[in-house]
Amino acid sequence: MHRWDMRALRRRALGLFACLSVSAALAQTAAPDAKALERGARLIGFCANCHGANGNSTAPEIPNLAGQNPAYLEEQMRRFVDGRRKDPFMSGLIKAMSPAERADAVAYLAAQTMQPSAPPAPAAQIAEGRSYYAKVCFRCHGEQARGDATVPRLAGQQPGYVVKSLKRYRDGTGERLEPVMAANTKMMSDAQIQAVAAYVASLR
C-alpha cells in the first residue's frame, strides 16, 4: 500500500474515533428520562424530611443534594449499601431501595437546582476562604468548586456541613477517612475551616 494511502486511512480512523468520542460524551450528558425524573421525585419524598424539598436542605449541618454530581451521589449510595459509610437512618433507607430506584433518585436530585439557604458570611471571612481554597482545594474540587464524577460539588453547600466534614477529616473521626482529604486538612485551623466553608457556600 502506498504511503499516502496509510496517511489517509489514519486520518479517517482518527475522524471516526473523534465522532465516537463525541457521541459517547453526548450520551453521558443527555437529559435524564422524564419517567425516571417522575419516579425519582416520588422516591425522594422521604428524603425531604432531612434534605429539604428538591434536595435543598434548610438545616445547617445537613447537606444539599440538589445539583450534586450524579456519579458521586451513586457512589455514596453504594457505600451506604455495602457498609463503607454508616448511618443508622440513611443506611436502612438506601438499602431498602433497589438499584433502579437509587438510579431514579440520583437522576432527580442531580437535575434539581441548588438553592442555598444559608445567610451570607462576612466579606472578610469569604475572602480568607477564597484565598485558602485557591491554594489547596481547587486541585480536586475545581476552580468553581463543582467537583467531578468522583469529587463532590461544594458550591452552594451548607456551610455547617462543610465545617463538620472538614473537621472530621482533620481530626480522623467518622468513617470517611480519605487519605488526600486527611493530608490536606491536617494543618487547618478552625478559623480556616470556617472561612473555606463560608467561601464555597457563597458560590453558585
Contact 77, 102 (CB under 8 A): yes
Confidence class for position 26, pLDDT limits 50, 70, 90: very low
Confidence class for position 13, pLDDT limits 50, 70, 90: very low
- Long-range CB contact pairs, 12-21, < 8 A, 24+: none
CATH superfamily of 34-111: Cytochrome c-like domain (1.10.760.10)
116-162, pLDDT tens digit by residue?
Answer: 888 889 999 999 999 999 999 999 999 999 999 999 999 999 999 99
pTM metric for this prediction: 0.81
Which residues participate in the annotated binding site?
47, 50-51, 90, 137, 140-141, 181
Which residues participate in the annotated binding site for heme c?
47, 50-51, 90, 137, 140-141, 181
99-124, pLDDT tens digit by residue?
Answer: 999 999 999 999 999 988 888 899 99
- Whether pLDDT at 82 is above 90: yes
Confidence class for position 48, pLDDT limits 50, 70, 90: confident
Q: How would CATH label the architecture of 123-202?
A: Orthogonal Bundle (1.10)
Q: Quick one: pLDDT at residue 47? A: 87
Q: Quick one: pLDDT at residue 18? A: 38
